[in-house]
A and B are shown apart, each in its own frame.
Chain A
Amino acid sequence: MIDTGAQAPDFELDSHLDTTVKLSSFQGSKNVLLVFYPLDFTPT
C-alpha cells in the first residue's frame, strides 16, 4: 500500500456519471478521498 507522504499517482478514469475524472485536476483546490473496494454488488 502506498505510503503516507508519497505523491499520489495521477490517473484519468471514466465514472458511472459519464464523466472522466483526472486526479491532478483537483490539485490546489480540493482534497480527494479514494475508496477502493473489491467489486460492485458485493457486501460493503
Chain B
Amino acid sequence: MGISVDSKFCHKAWAKSFDGITYPLLADFHPKGGVASAYGLMLDDKGITDRATVLIGKDGTVKWAESAGVGGERNPGELLGKCKELG
C-alpha cells in the first residue's frame, strides 16, 4: 500500500493519472504525517515523509525497513527479494 501526507482526494486525482491504481493509497493527512511520525519517517522541517519501505509480517512486527531518501530511488529487485523471503 502506498502512503503519503496527501488527502484521499489528491490520491484519487494522482491515481487517475495512471489510469487507476488498484492497491490502496493511504491518506496520512490528519493529523498530518501522524503515521509517518510513528514509524520515524516524517520530515518535520519539510512537511513530507521520507521515501521509505516497510515490510510488516503476519505477526505484526517489522521484518524489513529501508529509506531511499527523498530524492533517492527504491531498489525494486531487493524489495521483491525481501517479499519472497517472507512468503
Q: Is the interface of A mostly helix, strand, loop or mixed?
A: loop
B-side interface mostly: mixed
Interface residues on B, range: 35 or more
The number of chain A residues with a CB under 8 A from chain B is 37
**How many contacts A-B (CB < 8 Å)?**
150
* A16 and B53 contact, CB distance less than 8 A: no
Query: What CA separation (Å) do A16 and B52 show in the bound complex?
Result: 20
A37 partner, pick from B2, B63, B83, beta carbons under 8 A: B2
CB-CB under 8 A from B39, the residues of chain A are 1-2, 8-9, 34, 36
Closest to A23 in B: B56
- Check if B26 sits within 8 Å of A21, measured CB to CB: yes
Residues of B that sit less than 8 Å from A by CB: 1-6, 8, 10-15, 17, 21, 24-29, 34-36, 38-41, 46, 48-65, 67, 70, 73-74, 79, 83, 86-87
**Chain A residues at the B interface, C-beta cutoff of 8 Å:** 1-9, 11, 13-19, 21, 23-24, 26-41, 44
